[in-house]
Structure 1
Amino acid sequence: MLDNKFPDFIGALSEESNFVICTGGLTNERILSAVNEELVLKFFAFKNDRPNFKHLVGDFLTSYMERVADPAVNLTFEYDAETATFKKTFEVLAASLAEKSFALPNKARTAISAGFSMYHFEAITMGLQAVLSKLLPSDAAQMDKLKETLQGIKLSPEFIALTTGGGKNSPGPFGARIGFVEKGLKDAFS
């Protein structure tokens, strides 16, 4: 029997104010289908269990949820530390790109437009982990630099190629997206 603690935890974090700001590009239809809760689960699954991701995201997320929620499995999940990481991730994103955190470039690829890209969500939230400890959401100059850096990443032809089109839901392209963001952020904040 699965414990409700982890599913309840996921549900509570999906209502966290900075997360809601950053996922402002989600349509009402997607919110009604609980994609916001799926995004929270995806954040922890990819952060903590990325080597087990092979191709089918749904199966991967279900497996991770079951392993964390099943007391018999004994998969360690440090709720306090994970909460702090999640909140800081979305606090720095809210302080930098806010509702455009996962938005797409405009057609001319000259500015960040609107909408929500799952590939941007995965790449940016995971890539950000490489420099998260160096970032202070209260440092306005640093948040401006983060905004500039992430906008540059999102508008770069290489990142656009990594986040558009089909066939990008396997470990190679997934890792390439995250690696691209990590490199850009490490170069900016090393």
Structure 2
Amino acid sequence: MKFMDLQAQLEDNRRSVAFDSYDISVRQLYDMTLEGMIDIAPDYQRHFVWDEARQSELIESLFLGIPVPTLYMATNRDSSWEVIDGLQRLTTIINYVGSLDVIKEVNAKGSKLKISSLEKLSSLNGTRYEDLPKSLQVMFQTRPIRVTVLNDRSDNSVRYDLFERLNTGGVNLHPQEIRNCVYTGEFNDFIKELSMNDSFRNVVKVTKSSANKGVYEELVLKFFCYYEQRDKFVHNVKEFLNDYMESKTKSFKNKVRLRNIFEQTFNELERSLPNGIVRGNRLNVTPMVLFEAIAIGTADVIDNDIAVRQGVIQDLLDNEALKKLTSGATNSRKRLHDRINFVKDAIEHDFRNN
């Protein structure tokens, strides 16, 4: 029975993945990137980390005809390709062949590649692409690279899974960075816009490195997901957020209502919590589970037209009962409901008794 289940899972998941493979020349890849046929997503660009020596090794491998790892792409709705795995290699080619203007367009911090540290082709050390005779330029441009493309018959969950599994650029992508590449569209733009909201930024405290990895955007997503669909949460937060974002990417019809509750909630929290959602007297980092309890609980009382008295939410931050609900094993539907309802009930109780 166990292997029958395995066979069914294999057949089901293999049907959901559809690939096409091509051998494409260096020149074609370069031209396709410049023409927008290959997209290096803005959320992904900043993760170019190869130094000059590592880039030079790739150029040497291409000159020598040594096979380089396959580039993986995904097909977008407009038939363009988006890089899943291969950012370092593709950007290196552009840094070598492209003009400075082209390089800056693809990667704002990029620079022209001067070859260095090679042993086999040591004569290339200290040179740039423009220094090569035409025959060597043509040789380089016609080198083939294997490209495997996830076509548009595969769903977004497969694309997310591939981003997560195949990314080998030396910097692990945060789940929200992957979502920003996979779930493109109006709802993703909406999340990014609200993540810049001043009241939200004043209330939520994250580290600089986290801010650069999409944590603000993920917290906006988490706010809406728990506000609308907390009853569907089971245990896996990542998959829960992915499913919600997938549904909103397909159909986003309540933009005004969601914007209003978001802005009302964080305007109220900015008023009630001048130091933000933090525990103690130090301006430290917002605990994510505490964020869920305070933000969603406050949104619920705003929905019920309950006025929040000054000091009530501030007192909740260090409440011992809430501490217990926001520590330990917290990823269950019951614990999620318990901590949100604790905040909601406390604010409503204060309202009724004052």
Please give the TM-score of this superposition, normalised by the length of structure 2.
0.45
| Larger RCO (alpha carbons 8 Å, 6+ apart) | 1
For 1:10-69, what per-residue CA distance to the aligned partner results, in whole angstroms no more than 9, with x for missing partners?
Answer: 00000011111111x211011011000000000111111111111111100000000111
The separation in 2 between residues aligned to 1:161 and 1:113, in whole angstroms, is 21
The answer for the alignment partner of 1:152 in structure 2 is 315
Aligned pairs for 1:42-81 within 5 A: 42-71=222-251, 77-81=253-257
* Structure 2 stretches lacking a partner, 5+ long: 1-76, 78-182
Instruction: Report SS of the residue matched to 1:131.
Output: helix
For 1:57-86, what per-residue CA distance to the aligned partner results, in whole angstroms no more than 9, with x for missing partners?
Answer: 110000000011114xxxx64111110110
Q: How many residues are aligned here?
A: 169
State the percentage of identical aligned residues: 30
Aligned pairs for 1:156-167 within 5 A: 156-165=319-328, 167=329
Distance 1:150 1:112, change over 3 A: farther
- Please tell me the residue identity of whatever aligns with 1:68: K
Aligned pairs for 1:1-190 within 5 A: 4-23=185-204, 25-71=205-251, 77-100=253-276, 102-104=277-279, 106=280, 114-132=284-302, 133-135=305-307, 145-146=309-310, 148-165=311-328, 167-190=329-352
The separation in 2 between residues aligned to 1:162 and 1:134, in whole angstroms, is 23
Note the aligned Cα RMSD (angstroms): 1.8
Instruction: Report SS of the residue matched to 2:285.
Output: coil
Q: Which runs of 4+ in 1 moved over 4 A?
A: none
The separation in 2 between residues aligned to 1:112 and 1:189, in whole angstroms, is 29
Deviation at 1:156, TM superposition (A): 1.6
Distance 1:3 1:155, change over 3 A: closer
* Structure 1 stretches lacking a partner, 5+ long: 136-141
Deviation at 1:99, TM superposition (A): 3.5
Q: Which has the higher helix share?
A: 1
Q: Which has the higher strand share?
A: 2
Check the 8 A contact 1:131/1:189 in 2, yes or no. Answer: no
The answer for the alignment partner of 1:139 in structure 2 is none
Please give the TM-score of this superposition, normalised by the length of structure 1.
0.82
Check the 8 A contact 1:120/1:163 in 2, yes or no. Answer: yes
